[in-house]
Structure formats: structure tokens, C-alpha cells
Amino acid sequence: MHRIWVTGYRAYELEVFNDDDPKVTVIKSVIAEQLRSRLNQSTDTFWLISGPQSGVERWTLQVGLKLQSDYEQLKLALMSPYLNVEKRWKEENQAQLAQLRAMVDYSASISNHDYQSASQLRAYQQFMLNHTDEMLLIYDPDMENNPDKKSKPFWDYRAAKKYAQDNNYPITVIDFDELQEAAEEMAENHPELLKRTHKS
């Protein structure tokens, strides 16, 4: 069995406000390629584990749902840091998460309480690290210019790097340069995939 934690930026951190944004297409394509390369190596059970956030986490699970038709060994888990993580979200966002939870193979919260403190987020990180074999992260360290405001993947990357000091825990980082390369390649070979499907 192999388990991978995939996470990264929230949608607003990438200035993505619609699912038809070409950035989403590029990121999903890159994630799918990364997952296929791993899935093609073995038919052993492969758990793709991610979180509830709108952005890389949810796009990852959407990619996973599509890949399941080609890879019987692929299982999907949606892990939340605490109960009712979505209660302050817009209704549309809540509905999308509920739909995704119903489609994955496993869904649960690490904490049995609503949000209480940042310690729940640290406990979530530790749980994810302890229960996965590697991390795939959409993150660009060069973009962390504001010392007073760090992105979600900044904290996940820092926790993973610390964990990897004492554990065999590979971390694959996809930065903005790699995403740009993927976008340029897609624009050249499959420009139709980057067109918006409807108006913003």
C-alpha cells in the first residue's frame, strides 16, 4: 500500500475565482501526470489523501475521481482538520464539498470538535504526515514575500521538511515555473483545453 498527501494553495491564493479558469486546467493536468507516473509503477492499493479546501486540495480529488476509471488500485480520502470546516463558506462552496465527500472512498475529520485553535491545524498536519508516505505540494517558496502573511502550503511545507529530517518522507514541490512550463506546453499542443467553458 502507498499513501500520498497532496495539498497546495487555496483557490483565492492563486486568484482563481471560477472553476473554468485556465489555471485550474493546468494544475489538474500537472497533478494527473504526477499521479499517473506513480500509479503506473504498481497495482498495489494507492491512497490519494487530501483536504477540503477549495483550490489544489479539491482539484486533486476531482482528478482522482477521473483516474479511478483507469486505476482500480486508486482510493480517495478527504480528511478535514476539524468538524464543520465549511460552515462559514458560501452555500455553493458547501454544496461542492458535500458532493465530493459523497464520492470519495473515505471522509473524516481529525478533530471531533469545531474549530477551537490553531493547535487543531498542527494536529492535522502531524496526522497527515504520520499516515502518508510522501507529499506532493503545489507551492512556490519565491512567492512568500510577505513576512506577516504566509500561504497555507508554506506551513504544510515547513512541517513536512521538519518531519522529513527524521523520517524517510519524499516531498515533491511543483512551483510556478513548472506550472508555467506546463501551461505553455498545453497552449502549444492543446490550446482548446485552456479556453474558458463559460463567461466569468
Residue 179: inside a domain, yes or no? yes
| Dist CA 149 CA 18 (whole Å) | 24
| Dist CA 72 CA 11 (whole Å) | 29
Residue 70: inside a domain, yes or no? yes
> What are 16-47's pLDDT values in tens digits?
999 889 999 999 999 999 999 999 999 999 99
> What are 102-116's pLDDT values in tens digits?
999 999 999 999 999
| Dist CA 198 CA 61 (whole Å) | 23
The domain spanning residue 182 has which CATH number?
3.40.50.450
Range of the domain at 37: 2-194
**Cα–Cα separations (whole angstroms), residue 56 to 6, 162, 165, 174, 181:** 8, 22, 25, 12, 18
Residue 81: inside a domain, yes or no? yes
> What are 36-92's pLDDT values in tens digits?
999 999 999 999 999 999 999 999 999 999 999 999 999 999 999 999 999 999 999
Residue 8: inside a domain, yes or no? yes
| Dist CA 74 CA 44 (whole Å) | 9
How many domains does the chain divide into? Answer: 1
Return the closest-CA partner of residue 172 out of 160, 163, 184.
160
Residue 198 above 70 pLDDT?
no
Residue 25: inside a domain, yes or no? yes
To the nearest whole percent, how much of the chain has pLDDT over 70?
97
Residue 199: inside a domain, yes or no? no
pTM of the model: 0.93
Q: How many CB atoms lie within 10 A of CB 40?
A: 10
